Every structure is written in C-alpha cells, then in structure tokens.
Structure 1
Amino acid sequence: MTRSTIMTVAAFSLFGCGGGGGSDTPSPAPAPAAAPAGQQTAAPSAGAAAVDWIAVDERSRTVTIDLVAGSTDSNNRWNFNGYANGEATVVVPEGYTVTVNFENRDPVNYHSVGVLERAASYPAIFDDAVPVFEGAITANATSMTEATAPAGGTETISFTASTAGDYALVCPIPAHAVTGMWIGFEVSASGDSGLRT
C-alpha cells in the first residue's frame, strides 16, 4: 500500500466518523429547566451521582433527561453525554414517565437513541430496533440519513418506564452500537434515580 493510500484511509477514518483528537473527559449537557413553582426535584438516590442533565420530580412522577449525542470527542463522538461502551448507567424509578430531550452535536453523523434490551454485544446492523417501552425510540432510528441530524438536530421522546430491569440507551444506526455508542438504562423498583458510573 502506498503512503498516499494510507494517508487517505487514515483521513477518512478520522473525519468520516466525526472525530478527531481532544479530551475524553465527559462534559455535562446543558442544565435542564428548573421545575415549575410548587414542584420539587428529587436528589439522586444512594449509589447514583447528581448530574444536571437528569431531573426527577417525585410529585409528578416524571424524569427529564437531556441526552446529547457527540457532546465530546470521546469514542470518536459516538457517545451520549460523553459516555460510551456502557461506562455509565442512567437510573430512573419504576412507573415514572420519562421524557428524553435528545440533541445530536456530532458535526458529521446522524444519531438516534432507543431504550433496548441490554446485551453483552450489539450487532453491526439491527434488523429491527424494538424499544422495550412503547415510544422509547427516536424516529428512523436505524437510518444513516433520516435519524436525528448532525450539528444540532433535536427530537423528544416520552414513555413510561413500566417494568423494573437493566436496559440500555443505544444508537441503532449501523455500526454505532457495536463500536460502543450505548450506555446503561436501569429502571429501579426501589425508586433509585441518578447516574451510576
């Protein structure tokens, strides 16, 4: 292989996947809006960390998650709020209504998110990405050209976390999950909430 060919392949690998160098330290997503007057936002439970992108309201039994794809250079920008490869787990209480405000900051690639069964590994291509809860997946989740657009595209999904268990927030676009674009999603029967790392 000539040096020119090697350089072309390296450039495609680096820029074709939206990445580059930079810090691998996750940075927080924007803070969610404050709870309306008369509502209280719960502190995270024992074993879960406080983060400004997960807000739990016990009175209304709701969770709001501001989830950002490509928020850092970590995992070549194929990450959720800087986390990839299952290195963090979002924890929500069973029975709560969950709203995910999803934003794609990757400058190049389309991304999506769905609450899927947790797996030891994910396929390169999903035949069908079926969410574990009705409504728990963004539109056109397996499409490389019709999912949430790069450079600031947004989408909001809402669902009820009706069954306790260990699941995952996964990007089912071809090759994304298999290369680490997923984090844990736990529905807690004990009412725990927050982020575990």
Structure 2
Amino acid sequence: MRTRSVLAVVAAAMVCAGCGTTSQPSKPQAPLVTWNAAHRLVEWTVIAGDGGENGGMNFDGYANGEMTLVVPVGWRVQIHFRNASFTPHSAMVVPEGDYDRGSFDSSLLAFPGAETPNPSEGSPKGAAENVEFTASRAGNFALVCAVPGHALAGMWDKLVVSSQAKKPSLLVNHSS
C-alpha cells in the first residue's frame, strides 16, 4: 500500500542576510529554489524530464502535484527552465483547477509572462529558457507542461501565492 508523507524542505541560510535556499533532500548540492527577501525575488530551477519518475513526465523528479512552491504575494518569480528529456517539454503557470487539461493556450495563463516560448510545442532536449513574472495575486496555481497530453500524464506541480507567507518555501509530497 502506498502512503503519502509530507516533507517540509528546510531552508538554508545563504551568505547575504535576507537570502535563502530550499533544496530537494536527495539533491542538496543543487538547490531548486533560492530567494532574496530584500529584492522580493524567488528563483526556481525547473528541470523537465529529470530522471525516470512518472515515465519521465516530471519537473525536478516530481509529478502529479507532488511538489509545491509557496511564494509571498507580490514577489517576482524567475523560473530557470531546462529540458533534460528527448521529448519536447514546456512550462506554463495556470490556475490550479486547470492543471488536468489536454491542451493549453494563452487564455489560461495565470500571470503575464508565466510561460516558456511556444508552450504547446515545447522545447527540445538541452533547451534552457528563463521565465519571469510577478505573483501579483494570492491563489493556488499549477506549473504544467503545456505540450498536449503531458499535464494529463502527470507533468504538473503546484504554485501557491500566499498573502500570509513571509518568505518562499518548497514542500514535497513523496510516495513511500
């Protein structure tokens, strides 16, 4: 029987005051999230097809909403997207209720600029793009691969924009 457990990933202090990181426990040498409180900026490294989890349909090795980034409302978000898979992938932020669509278009975009170029076509292996947007309103959103069928196959994670959060955090749900 599969059980779910929730791990809050511990934030590590950086050299400068007001900066922080959050790392995936199995890969602490490569933080997935860093932030600078003074600049109200969070940077999220998103690697599409990172290993074989969920048949390669994952972001940073997580799929089906297993990873949640919490960001304070009003912060800028920079996504450093890279495709590690031979299959084209993309990244797009949509309202959480829309994560399970078969296809996506720009009318579903949660924030202006919150998508990689040509999200329905995806980017080839090795492609790297930076996406930047302001998390301007509180709510629950999803980071999806907008290539048709990929989000339905589980290629999505959560983004919560919170009016109560003082700093970003990364939560990871594992199957054990």
Going from structure 1 to structure 2, the CA distance change for 1:65 and 1:154 (only over 3 Å counts) comes to same
Q: Which amino acid aligns with 1:122?
A: D
In 1, distance between residues paired with 2:142 and 2:18?
Answer: 27
* Gap change, CA 1:178 and 1:129, over 3 Å in 2: farther
The answer as to whether partners of 2:44 and 2:77 remain within 8 angstroms in 1 is yes
SS in 1 for 2:81: strand
Q: Does residue 182 in structure 1 map to residue 160 in structure 2?
A: no
Larger radius of gyration: 1
Which protein is richer in strand relative to its size? Answer: 2
* Structure 1 residue 39, shift from structure 2 partner: 5.6
User: Partner amino acid for 2:44?
Assistant: I
**How many angstroms does 1:100 deviate by?**
0.4
For residues 107 and 147 of structure 2, what CA distance do their matches in structure 1 show? 9
Residues in 2 aligned to 1:101 and 1:142: alpha-carbon distance in whole angstroms = 18
- Asked if 1:117 corresponds to 2:131, the answer is no
Give distance in 2, aligned partners of 1:121 and 1:62: 25
Contact 2:21-2:33 at 8 Å conserved across structures: no
- Residue ranges of structure 2 left out of the alignment (5+ in a row): 1-12
Shift of 1:114: 0.7
Aligned pair partner of 1:173 in 133, 137, 147: 147
Give how far 1:130 is off. Answer: 2.7
Are 1:141 and 1:171, in contact at CA under 8 Å, matched by a contact in 2?
yes
Aligned pairs for 1:40-55 within 5 A? 40-42=18-20, 52-55=31-34
Match of 2:59 in 1: 80
Point out where structure 1 has 5 or more consecutive residues left out of the alignment: 1-33
With over 3 angstroms needed to count, the CA separation of the structure-2 counterparts of 1:70 and 1:49, relative to structure 1, is closer
CA gap 1:60/1:126 in 2 versus in 1, 3 angstroms: closer
Q: Distance in 1 between matches of 2:106 and 2:124?
A: 20
Answer whether contact 1:129 1:172 (CA < 8 A) is retained: no
**2: CA distance, partners of 1:121 / 1:190:** 24
- Of 131, 135, 158 in structure 1, the residue corresponding to residue 113 of structure 2 is 135
Q: Measure how far apart 1:76 and its partner are.
A: 1.0
CA distance in 1, matches of 2:146, 2:124: 14
RMSD: 2.4
Query: Equivalent residue of 1:85, what SS?
Result: coil
Residue equivalent to 1:26: none
The one-letter code of the counterpart of 1:193 is P
- Give the length in aligned residue pairs: 155
